Amino acid sequence: GQQLNQSPQSMFIQEGEDVSMNCTSSSIFNTWLWYKQDPGEGPVLLIALYKAGELTSNGRLTAQFGITRKDSFLNISASIPSDVGIYFCAGPANAGGTSYGKLTFGQGTILTVHP
Amino acid sequence: DTEVTQTPKHLVMGMTNKKSLKCEQHMGHRAMYWYKQKAKKPPELMFVYSYEKLSINESVPSRFSPECPNSSLLNLHLHALQPEDSALYLCASSQGVAQPQHFGDGTRLSIL
């Protein structure tokens, strides 16, 4: 099946620093999604990417859909304490297979921000 | 606030109990999902419903029984669970399968 390799596994940064994380795959995805999960809550959709090369921003967050359709990155600028959480990349299985409707997740990046 | 509502937020049950988890969305989404999540791990898909019909069962043990009474509701019936079933159970919905999924805040389940 499709797999996503997400890195880094964890990051410890100072408030105000920029953050970058990425996901790669050996197979093509037609959509890339980035979620954030706070402790005790469900994942919240941050950014959805639909086209190769697409660069999308949501406030201090910027994500890009790689040109090969096999990778994506998420940047957070000027981090603040509330950015703490687990960030997951995800991609839906492509149409035409028995897994259609299944979302593949990366292993997550645990972000800690020191004030 | 999430637009996918899950109840209860917490549930403690014995291995012989029968209980149900509930999920509701009013976004007009036609696909709904159940996931199981262990601490600091990504969600693992259990079931997918599309237009109220079960379309994916990820080889989930029969002690978990999903039900979709209508397009807004999704239930997960639990019976004779094991301690290893303790986890956060997440419900999600999307406009259609392969569309971005929106998650509820989950039910934290503990099996004694």
Please tell me the distance in Å from B103's CA to the nearest CA on chain A: 6
Nearest to A90 by CA among A48, A37, A60: A48
Nearest to A7 by CA among A113, A77, A75, A108: A108
What digits encode the pLDDT tens for the residues A3-21? 899 999 999 999 999 999 9
Contact state of B101 with A103 under an 8 Å Cβ cutoff: yes
CA distance B87 to A20: 29
Between CA B105 and CA B108, with CA B107 as vertex, the angle to 5 degrees is 115
Residue A1 contacts B where some CB pair is shorter than 8 Å: no
Residue B104 has pLDDT above 60, yes or no: yes
Considering CB atoms only, which of B31, B48, B100 is closest to A48?
B100
Instruction: Copy the structure tokens of residue A105.
Output: 């997740």
Residue A100's pLDDT band (cuts 50, 70, 90): confident
Residue A88 contacts B where some CB pair is shorter than 8 Å: yes
Put simply, the chain B residues between 68 and 97 with a CB less than 8 A from any chain A CB are 90, 92, 97
For testing the chain B interface, which of A103, A104, A109, A111 should be mutated: the one with the most B CBs within 10 Å? A103
Model pLDDT, residue A1:
64
Pairing of strands B10-13, B107-111: parallel
Instruction: Copy the structure tokens of residue A86.
Output: 């687990």
What digits encode the pLDDT tens for the residues A59-96? 999 999 999 999 999 999 999 999 999 999 999 877 66
